[in-house]
Amino acid sequence: MALYQSDVTGRPVEDLLDRDAKPFTRELVEAVERDRPELDELISRHSEGWTLERIAPLERNILRVGLAELLHRPDVPAEVAIDEAIEAAKELCSADAPGFVNGILAAVHREEVTSQ
């Protein structure tokens, strides 16, 4: 939620992250913030017909978190990162969001992860 709130309000994510957040959550938020240009470039490249700004902020941040896990967390299996992002989109976003999230994460996984 802190990433979404920061994206929408422009406030620093550090001010919005719950002080009781688990270390994994903190590491993931830090990774998204640190790698945002790379993550946003991948989202833009794989979201055919959509600019980054046209993607709803919640979906955009679900994608960022999923990509951060997929690309930079070897302790999180790719299938788990993708499934968790899809489930978050099902729970929090429009009916079209899970397919959109799945399509982008699967494409990045095929292109960036499995080709290494």
pTM of the model: 0.93
**Mean pLDDT computed over 74-86:** 96
- Look at the chain and report how many structural domains it folds into: 1
What's the confidence (pLDDT) of residue 1?
A: 83
How far is Cα 102 from Cα 47, in angstroms, rounded to an integer?
A: 11
Question: 57-72 pLDDT, tens per residue?
Answer: 999 999 999 999 999 9
Residues 12-28: what's their mean pLDDT? 93
| Domain around 26 | 2-113
The predicted pLDDT at position 34 comes to 96
The CATH number of the domain holding residue 16 is 1.10.940.10
* Beta carbons of 42 and 112 less than 8 angstroms apart: yes
